[in-house]
Structure 1
Amino acid sequence: MSRRMEAAMARQRVGRRKVQPRAPYQGPGWRQKPTLGVDVGGVIVMLADREEDTSFFGSRPLLTPAVTGVFEALATLTEQPFAGRVHLVSKAGPKVAANTRAWLAHHEFFGRTGIPSDHLHFVRERRDKAPVCQRLGVTHFVDDRLDVLAHLETVEHRYLFRGGTEGPDSTGALPHWAIEVHQWAELAALLASSEVG
């Protein structure tokens, strides 16, 4: 076999090999850029049914209201301190994912907030948000479910959002790693006043 043929075969083998993404450099002085992850149901979209992760108004999903202040807060946070590093991570099956995409388009969500439309990620199980957040380098996450936040062990700052439902909130002591917030204005002010960037 000629050397040229061997080289061509070697290039083919390398081309088939899956390349694993490199972990970011974490040497002296390294600091991860702040990246915000946000749930959809109960955080961006008001919940019509507390039992569902993302629930809409029956046959009229586009009429489901947004959580008060979400557009303004996310527009501000997307500009600074997160500088375009904001991702939506939502648990949804195909029907709810389609309703979510339609709702976001109908409300011109991406244009109003400055979040890129390809920063929308769907998972099938709540615990599946953890590997997505790890892959995206999420440092801050907002969710209305404590059980979801418990899975996000690689996320340093976890916020339990209570302002996305008209039903009663569950009460009880929060774990030390969770910060409870009730409004988007409150969360935006908290993030702006902390040393995020």
Structure 2
Amino acid sequence: MNRLGIDIGRVIINGTTGPGDTSFFAGDTAAMLRTPAVPGAFETIARLVPLFTGTWLISKCGPRVQQRSLTWLHHHDFFRHTGIPENNVRFCLQRPQKAIHCADLAITHFVDDKPDVIAAITPVVPHPYLFKDWPTTEAAILKSLTLSTHQPLAAPPMTERRSR
């Protein structure tokens, strides 16, 4: 049973090159809602969701950015476009806490743009992906799913040697 976890900031919602994780949420609500999606995010996630028994968004942010993230996702009709249930969103206040959510949900594949998150989840997630772009990430996920569906070949039966 494969389960997918996806970070939100800079993986779904496009960020800036600024220093803060949530610099893309600066300004008023209208400006925040104009923040674009990461190129290919909606389409790729919609293709991946049916390949998993469950998909969750797991993000590190405080209460204000949690609310803004949900507002952005709803405004852009993310849940309808991707097929992820609206209730499959988890938030935490520190990046290493993502590992707790991953363990709790039995996440097998996780996409995040932060190396420290990848390091934190590696003990509990067999297939972590450091996000650069959706085409590369999708190819890596599809490859791992293909490899995991192939059963190892059985060893040929041993023939008994008879002594003469």
TM-score range, shorter-chain basis? Answer: 0.7 to 0.9
Return the TM-score normalized by structure 2: 0.82
Q: Which residue of 2 aligns with 1:161?
A: 131
Alignment correspondent of 1:35 = 3
Deviations 1:146-170 (A, max 9, x none): 01111112111111112xxxxxxxx
Q: CA offsets, 1:64-103, max 9 Å, x none?
A: 01000000100010012x14x1110001111101110000
**Does residue 161 of structure 2 align to residue 191 of structure 1?**
no
TM-score w.r.t. structure 1 length? 0.69
- How many residues align structurally? 143
Please tell me the residue identity of whatever aligns with 1:120. V
- Structure 2 equivalent of residue 148 of structure 1: 117
Question: Deviation of residue 196 (structure 1)?
Answer: 4.7
From 48, 72, 76, the equivalent of 1:77 is 48
Secondary structure at the residue paired with 2:102?
Answer: helix
Aligned counterparts of 1:103 and 1:63: Cα–Cα separation in 2? 9
CA distance in structure 1 between the partners assigned to 2:137 and 2:17 by the alignment:
24
What is the CA deviation profile of residues 33-69 of structure 1, one whole-angstrom value per residue up to 9, with x for unaligned ones? 1111110111101113542223325221101010000
Instruction: Say if 1:196 and 1:108 are closer, same or farther in 2 by CA, change over 3 A.
Output: farther
Give the fraction of aligned pairs with identical amino acids, expressed as a percent: 42
Equivalent in the alignment of 1:26: none
* Residue 121 (structure 1) aligned with residue 121 (structure 2): no
Distance in 2 of aligned mates of 1:119 and 1:52: 25
Q: What is the alpha-carbon distance in structure 1 between the residues aligned to residue 110 and residue 12 of structure 2? A: 13
CA–CA distance in 1 between the matches of 2:80 and 2:148? 24
Instruction: Work out which of the residue numbers 93, 111, 128 in structure 1 matches 2:80.
Output: 111
Question: Quick one: which of 56, 59, 63 aligns to 2:34?
Answer: 63
Q: Relative to structure 1, is the Cα distance of residues 38 and 196 closer, same or farther in structure 2, using a 3 angstrom cutoff?
A: farther
Q: Deviations over 1:107-166 (max 9, x none)?
A: 00000000001111010111111111000001111111001111112111111112xxxx
- Is the 1:86–1:115 contact (alpha carbons within 8 Å) kept by the matching residues of 2? yes
CA distance in 1, matches of 2:148, 2:105: 17
* Counterpart for residue 138 of structure 1: 107
Structure-2 change in CA distance of 1:62 and 1:136 (3 Å): same
The structure with the largest helix share of the pair is 2
Unaligned 5+ runs, structure 1 = 1-32, 163-182
Unaligned runs of 5+ in 2: 150-164
